[in-house]
Amino acid sequence: MARRATRLSSSAAPAFADAPARETPDDSMSLDVPEQLLTPENSRSETSSNNENALTDEKPPARRRSTRAPRASLRATEALESTPVKKNHSATSTSQAYVDSLAKSKRSRSGLRHSIAVMESQMYNGVITSAEDTLVEEHSMAPDTPVSNSSQEPSPDGMNNSLQQRTLRKRVEKALGGDDGAGKKTNATPQRSSGQSVRRSSRLSFVEKASDMLDRANSVLGKRSRNLGELGKDIGRRASLRPRNPPTPTVESTPAPSEPASKKRRVSESDLAKLQSKDASPSEEPAAPAVRRYKPKMWLKEGLYTGQEPTKSPPKQRRSKNSEKTSTGPKNRRLLPMPMFTGARLIQNGRDYRLPFDIFSPLPPGQPKPDEWRKTNKNVFVGDAASEWKANKNLELSTCMCTEDYGCDENCQNRYMFYECDNGNCRLGPECGNRSFNELKHRTKAGGKYNIGVEVIKTSDRGYGVRSNRSFEPNQIIVEYTGEIITQFECEKRMRTVYKTNECYYLMYFDQNMIIDATRGSIARFVNHSCEPNCRMEKWTVAGKPRMALFAGDRGIMTGEELSYDYNFDPYSNKNVQQCRCGSENCRGILGPRPKDKDQRAKLEAIGETQKAAGVKRKRAPAKQAAPTHQGKKRKLLNPQSIKASVKKAVTKATTSRGKAVLKTSAASTARGTKPAAKNAKLPTVKQATKKASVRMPSRKTQSTKAAPASPTKTSQLKRPSPETKKQILAAAARGGSSRASAKASKAEAKSPRKATARKAPVKSPVKARMPAPKAKSATKASSSVKGKGLGSSLKSAARKVVRNVRSVKN
Ligand SMILES: C[S@@+](CC[C@H](N)C(=O)[O-])C[C@H]1O[C@@H](n2cnc3c(N)ncnc32)[C@H](O)[C@@H]1O
């Protein structure tokens, strides 16, 4: 009730003019009039403060009041015009108040000026009060405001009217300015100004709020950002936190389209936050990659090889097909590394391995080459050799009857007689397997390490040697032994003169009492001797001409092996025995055949031991002589007397020796030069196995008859046919009109002698070679068709023996 009374008293203030109290206004009221001169503009500073501040500002300076009065009067006029209903009432009350004020002014000391101001303020208050009453009734929000609440508080008895009026004014201002809708309804000019003043005074400026938000953001970002900001570091990030554009112009420049342009949009904290996030986002984007996302650590579940099943398959890299495309980094190994020192162990200890035959593995270069070697890959007739050769040349004709099914295999007649097939004696073409020299010709023509297949090496104790650059199949031709073909007379002459001081000679018996001197020759001359050789030296007839070549043994040749063959030469004298350094298990100890005589063997062994004990070695090449010349080397030389003695011995031995393929080339061996079988010979020669020609089981793997030590090449025990046997076979073939008969006869004799050879059951026919039976088509037929008891009967008996031996071996 007190509240109501207060309001009524204030609102009905103009009506007091009619009341007696109006006539005698209270002094207190008159004294309070100046306080009522507070205009809405004056109240700006007051509205922002509380009521206590308002009480302290009860007496504003007079100057301010005077300046505000005209505006208030104008507003009051406008209000009166806009509210005609209330105009009379307000005018009446205003006039009454004016009369009262005039009467008062007469008594009071205040001037006219004050009176006019009071009148205007009363007029204004009357309008506002009436409007305020309406607004209070219409707007339920008005009393909720702090200002209205404060104004509705029951005033004490001593509260003056100025305070009431001021409170009312505040309420009106709140009601008009706080709600835009209400402002529109009232359509009063003071509402706009009051609204503006309310916003300005009741809220902080936008810049201040933005700075507050910046402080909050700093605190949210944490200590590090704060420190950076304080220390002035990381300007970029700090700048990102700071609003780049002043927020107030930004908001004002981009008002909401629905709002009027004149109005300022109220900025809430959420808007500030959005604004700040907008400003901060572009600068924070580059900082995002700084936050790393590490892959989760993958721990090894198993140790090295622990729990892994051993496998023989090669390790697989489990990579997807697209891994190379996707992976940007280097191609790292996915497999575990090899254990330490594995490679070192392998290098130190080594590992045996064998390459297949068809793999070419060239050896590293750098082997010293003999500089005195004059090379030739063809046989060259020198001196009288060419004329003598033609005179003695026998036209040996042979034609094999092999079919393509067998392709001139081991049963080929040409092969049996060491005749190479060609288009003249064989009807097979590329299917023929008996054309080794032709193959070698194409190989050497093509050239290259692989095709040549051999190279010179320097051995530790045997001078130079030859090793293979590639692998060779068993019985494959390797290299031809070529050189100058000289007569025996020429050979003796050279031995006396040119080779007098030589340590090594490269002489080999060839054919028709001819000698191949490979001093100027092919690389085959460097092949050393071995008691267990891996090669054979064979003489073949190619297109009617004899040729010598080195063939691989029965087990083939691997890459890097040193090539060797059995020299099988006769030293003719115990003094000329050379110690063998082949290093094989079954080494005979000397270069030459093992003597049959025990005494002689003991002597040779003693000599060998003596040489060993004395350290007698053939010093071929001093260390400083990388490429020694064989000329001038000190070797044991014999005087002419000893040569003569040796020749005598050789002659006697020559009657029993057979198949001297190799002529030892030492100076000592020059003394061994056997006397030619026909005439008196003073110079060395090579004996042929012609004295005791006997039919042996044919084998193309036979080179010499005398040298047949227990060796892996024991198959060489079987001899090839002697020249005499060969002639007989050829003669029989010529009589029969076909060489096939002889071939068949041979087959009948041996029933595949190579089978017997393989079983190491050589059969030696005691019967001397006679004329072979012509037209022998098979073993039985051949024997039956033999005319007479010559070679046919011997072949027959030999064949029977072979059959018997084969059966015994089978059993
Ligand atoms: C045809 S030459 C071989 C190439 C010879 N190594 C060279 O440096 O010219 C034969 C000579 O080599 C030597 N020789 C070959 N094989 C030998 C071996 N197994 N043991 C000792 N000396 C050997 C002998 O001195 C023999 O007289």
Q: What is the DSSP string of 424-476?
A: TT-S--TT-S--HHHHHHHHHHH-SHHHH-EEEEE-SSSSEEEEESS-B-TT-
- Six token digits for residue 595: 């003597």
Span 611-640, mean pLDDT? 38
Share of the chain above pLDDT 70, in %: 32
Which of 58-67, 246-255, 436-445, 615-624 shows the lowest per-residue confidence on average (mean pLDDT)?
A: 615-624
Asked whether 528 lines ligand 1 (CB < 6 A), one says yes
**If you compute the radius of gyration of the chain from its CA atoms, what whole number of angstroms results?**
68
User: Highest-confidence range of 100-109, 604-613, 647-656, by mean pLDDT?
Assistant: 604-613
pLDDT band at 609 (very low <50, low <70, confident <90, very high): low
Q: Which atom of ligand 1 is nearest to the CA of 618?
A: 25
pLDDT 10s digits, 653-703? 543 433 334 443 433 333 333 333 333 333 333 333 333 333 333 333 333
Asked whether 161 lines ligand 1 (CB < 6 A), one says no
d(CA 807, CA 126): 157
pLDDT of residue 440: 95
Q: 462 C-alpha vs ligand 1 centroid, how far in Å? A: 5
Which of 42-56, 569-583, 584-598, 752-766 shows the lowest per-residue confidence on average (mean pLDDT)?
A: 752-766
Instruction: Give residues with Cβ within 8 angstroms of 402, minimum separation 6.
Output: 408, 409, 411, 412, 413, 426, 428, 432
For residue 456, pLDDT over 70 is answered with yes
State how beta strands 764-768 and 694-696 pair: antiparallel
As a whole number, the mean pLDDT across the chain is: 59
For residue 561, pLDDT over 80 is answered with yes
* Probe residue for ligand 1, chosen from 459, 520, 523, 529 as the CB with the greatest number of ligand atoms within 8 Å: 529
Which of 111-115, 129-133, 338-342, 763-767 shows the lowest per-residue confidence on average (mean pLDDT)?
A: 763-767
pLDDT band at 102 (very low <50, low <70, confident <90, very high): low
Q: Which atom of ligand 1 is nearest to the CA of 464?
A: 8
Q: Which atom of ligand 1 is nearest to the CA of 564?
A: 16
User: Highest-confidence range of 161-170, 671-680, 713-722, by mean pLDDT?
Assistant: 161-170
pLDDT band at 588 (very low <50, low <70, confident <90, very high): confident
pLDDT of residue 598: 65
pLDDT band at 721 (very low <50, low <70, confident <90, very high): low
Which of 81-90, 380-389, 689-698 shows the lowest per-residue confidence on average (mean pLDDT)?
A: 689-698
Asked whether 16 lines ligand 1 (CB < 6 A), one says no
Asked whether 799 lines ligand 1 (CB < 6 A), one says no
d(CA 793, CA 458): 53
Q: 273 C-alpha vs ligand 1 centroid, how far in Å? A: 103
d(CA 86, CA 89): 5
Which of 238-242, 387-391, 707-711, 789-793 shows the lowest per-residue confidence on average (mean pLDDT)?
A: 707-711
Q: 527 C-alpha vs ligand 1 centroid, how far in Å? A: 8
pLDDT 10s digits, 514-558? 899 999 999 999 999 999 999 999 999 898 888 999 999 999 999
Residue nearest to atom 19 of ligand 1 (CA): 582
pLDDT 10s digits, 563-572? 999 988 755 5
Residue among 542, 540, 536 at smallest CA distance from 554: 536
- Six token digits for residue 193: 């100004």
Asked whether 529 lines ligand 1 (CB < 6 A), one says yes
Largest CA distance in the chain: 196
Asked whether 464 lines ligand 1 (CB < 6 A), one says yes
For residue 32, pLDDT over 50 is answered with no
Span 334-341, mean pLDDT? 74
pLDDT band at 369 (very low <50, low <70, confident <90, very high): confident
pLDDT of residue 466: 95
Q: Which atom of ligand 1 is nearest to the CA of 580?
A: 20
Which of 108-112, 750-754, 766-770 shows the lowest per-residue confidence on average (mean pLDDT)?
A: 766-770
DSSP at 590: B
pLDDT 10s digits, 405-442? 888 888 888 898 899 998 888 888 888 999 999 999 99
Q: Taking the C-alpha atoms of 788, 791, 795 and 797 in order, what is their torsion angle to the nearest 10 degrees?
A: 60
Q: Rounded to whole angstroms, what are the CA distances from 148 to 1, 144, 167, 219?
A: 17, 6, 8, 38
For residue 364, pLDDT over 90 is answered with no
Q: Which atom of ligand 1 is nearest to the CA of 465?
A: 6
Residue nearest to atom 25 of ligand 1 (CA): 504
d(CA 560, CA 545): 32
Asked whether 670 lines ligand 1 (CB < 6 A), one says no
Asked whether 373 lines ligand 1 (CB < 6 A), one says no
CB 331 within 8 A of CB 421: no
Q: What is the pTM of this model?
A: 0.42
Share of the chain above pLDDT 90, in %: 12
* Probe residue for ligand 1, chosen from 371, 455, 462, 637 as the CB with the greatest number of ligand atoms within 8 Å: 462
Instruction: Give residues with Cβ within 8 angstroms of 246, minimum separation 6.
Output: 207, 210
pLDDT of residue 30: 40
d(CA 494, CA 501): 11
Span 267-274, mean pLDDT? 60
Asked whether 701 lines ligand 1 (CB < 6 A), one says no
